[in-house]
């Protein structure tokens, strides 16, 4: 014979900003729970004789107060909530009893049935927070949570309307989003979310095509690579489009390959929007300068090999009057040199580095279309890399890496 069905929990969204929350315990459970409490703005008191390194980092940064001792009932004075994160049932029960006396809700990691509050399985999608309670079954709650997260993460999520993070005229705003080095799955979660909310997308030619293929049908797509005029006039036109669409109340995403501020002119676009009074969100992207060598087996730093790396643009020849790169100085560096947009001028760049003292036998690698299905990798030396690239018919976009790290993960015979 079964007993009566326990009552269902009453769900609430607690606004903990500035309110005291006590966490008892300094182990793995507390390490998982504390960041969400801090994100909610709670005034966290942590009571535990010992802490994990991650919790110690929060203490050292002044994000919470730590009492390095065992729990005392007076710790709950003034608290709104207590999280018990210890596996000692007797100690947890003592905290529960003290909380009950003070009418403070108590979450217990050791025994959900003895707790007066449960921590739900949570997923966040921008301004949307979904919390799932599984009737006391954490695995059920996590399964439902994951299904909801997948739905919210889908670019075609039904009924998901844009929710501006910052309002301008009629709610218009601009987001400068880095799309990553080529693999569409390397866009950040935040960048992906903003792309699902976009009404206008202004895209560069190096943006992963699959990201554009999955935009909603009603999204206005502006191909920035087809804007006429020279580079300066084209940038002026891009700036005008961003400002005009945002002033019309549109949610605009400026989608760029790599990172917006790594040779992406994102700073110019931000300044143009700021001068026009248009709010801007900047979303960093995975830059090809690090990611492309990495997926090709070339770490830009490696213990005992290279403790520094330098990223430069090679789109101008070393002797070009407008070039700002000090190739003579780069030749004397011991670390890794990463050259973006340098394939056209690779012969001149290599010759200049060698002329200023860089050994011709220095390892070099060229990676074409890194992180994509079309990726090709060529390993060579500084003295022969330009000729090898021509013989292999490599083409842009490609990253050039110069330094001993080229053979770190693929030793030569």
Q: Are 128 and 152 in contact (CB under 8 A)?
A: yes
How many other C-beta atoms lie within 10 A of the C-beta of residue 204? 18
Cα(194)–Cα(224) distance, integer angstroms: 19
Q: How far apart are CA 388 and CA 381, in angstroms?
A: 9
Residue given tokens 């500035």 in the structure block? 18
Half-sphere exposure of 241 (CA within 13 A, CB side): 20
Kindly provide the b/e burial profile for residues 246-277, where b requires at least 16 CB atoms within 10 angstroms of the residue's own CB.
Answer: beeebbbbbbbbbbbbbbbbbeebbebbeebe
Q: For residue 400, what pLDDT is reported?
A: 98
pLDDT confidence of residue 168: 45
The CA distance from 207 to 181, in Å, is 8
Q: Token pair 């087996």 is at which residue?
A: 297
pLDDT of residue 136: 74
CB 125 within 8 A of CB 189: no
Strand 220-223 and strand 200-203: the pairing is: parallel
* pLDDT at residue 164 in the model: 47
The single residue of 204, 250, 256, 259 carrying the catalytic annotation is 204
Report d(CA 231, CA 240) in Å as an integer. 14
- Is residue 226 part of the annotated active site? The answer reads yes
Nearest CA to 245 among 168, 178, 191? 168
Between the alpha carbon of residue 410 and those of residues 68, 293, 381, the distances in Å are 49, 13, 14
Q: Walk along the chain (413 residues) and give the pLDDT tens digit of each residue.
A: 455 677 888 888 999 999 999 999 999 889 888 988 998 999 999 999 999 988 998 899 899 999 999 999 999 999 999 999 999 999 999 999 999 999 999 999 899 889 999 888 888 777 788 888 887 777 888 888 878 877 776 654 444 555 544 444 457 999 999 999 999 999 998 999 899 889 999 998 888 888 887 788 789 999 887 676 666 678 999 999 999 999 999 999 999 999 999 998 999 999 999 999 999 999 999 999 999 999 999 999 999 999 999 999 999 999 998 889 999 999 999 999 999 999 999 999 999 999 999 999 999 999 999 999 889 999 999 999 999 999 999 999 999 999 999 999 875 54
Q: Which of 60, 213, 218, 226 is catalytic?
A: 226
Is residue 250 flagged as an active site residue? no
pLDDT at residue 158, rounded to an integer: 44
The phi, psi pair for 254, rounded to 5°, reads -95, 105
* pLDDT value of residue 88: 93
What pTM value is reported for the model?
0.77
């Amino acid at each position: 014979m079964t007993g009566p069905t326990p009552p269902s929990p009453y769900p609430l969204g607690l606004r903990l900003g500035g309110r005291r929350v006590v966490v008892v315990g300094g182990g793995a459970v507390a390490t998982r729970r504390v960041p969400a409490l801090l994100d909610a703005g709670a005034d966290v008191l942590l009571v535990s004789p010992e802490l994990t390194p991650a919790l110690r980092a929060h203490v050292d940064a002044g994000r919470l107060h730590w009492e390095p001792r065992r729990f005392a009932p007076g710790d709950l004075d003034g608290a709104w909530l207590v999280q018990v994160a210890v596996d000692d049932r007797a100690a947890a029960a003592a905290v529960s009893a003290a909380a009950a006396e003070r009418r403070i809700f108590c979450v217990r990691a050791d025994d959900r049935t003895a707790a007066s509050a449960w921590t739900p399985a949570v997923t966040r999608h921008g301004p949307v927070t979904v919390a799932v309670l599984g009737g006391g079954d954490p695995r059920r709650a996590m399964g439902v949570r994951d299904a909801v997260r997948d739905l919210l993460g889908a670019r075609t999520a039904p009924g998901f309307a844009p929710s501006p993070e910052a309002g301008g005229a009629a709610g218009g705003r601009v987001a400068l989003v880095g799309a990553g080095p080529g693999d569409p799955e390397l866009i950040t979660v935040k960048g992906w979310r903003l792309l699902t909310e976009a009404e206008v997308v202004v895209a560069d030619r190096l943006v992963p095509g699959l990201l554009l293929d999955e935009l909603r049908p009603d999204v206005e797509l502006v191909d920035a690579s087809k804007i006429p005029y020279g580079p300066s006039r084209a940038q002026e036109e891009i700036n005008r489009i961003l400002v005009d669409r945002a002033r019309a109340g549109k949610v605009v995403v400026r989608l760029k390959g790599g990172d917006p501020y790594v040779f992406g002119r994102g700073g110019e676009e931000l300044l143009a929007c700021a001068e026009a009074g248009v709010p801007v969100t900047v979303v960093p992207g995975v830059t090809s300068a690090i990611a492309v060598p990495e997926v090709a087996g070339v770490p830009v730093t490696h213990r005992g090999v290279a403790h520094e790396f330098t990223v430069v643009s090679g789109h101008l020849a070393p002797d070009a009057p407008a070039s700002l790169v000090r190739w003579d100085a780069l030749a004397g560096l011991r670390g890794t040199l990463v050259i973006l947009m340098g394939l056209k001028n690779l012969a001149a760049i290599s010759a200049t580095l060698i002329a200023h003292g860089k050994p011709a036998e220095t390892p070099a690698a060229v990676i074409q279309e890194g992180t994509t299905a079309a990726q090709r990798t060529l390993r060579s030396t500084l003295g022969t890399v330009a000729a090898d690239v021509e013989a292999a018919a490599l083409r842009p976009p490609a990253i050039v890496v110069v330094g001993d790290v080229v053979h770190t993960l693929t030793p030569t015979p």
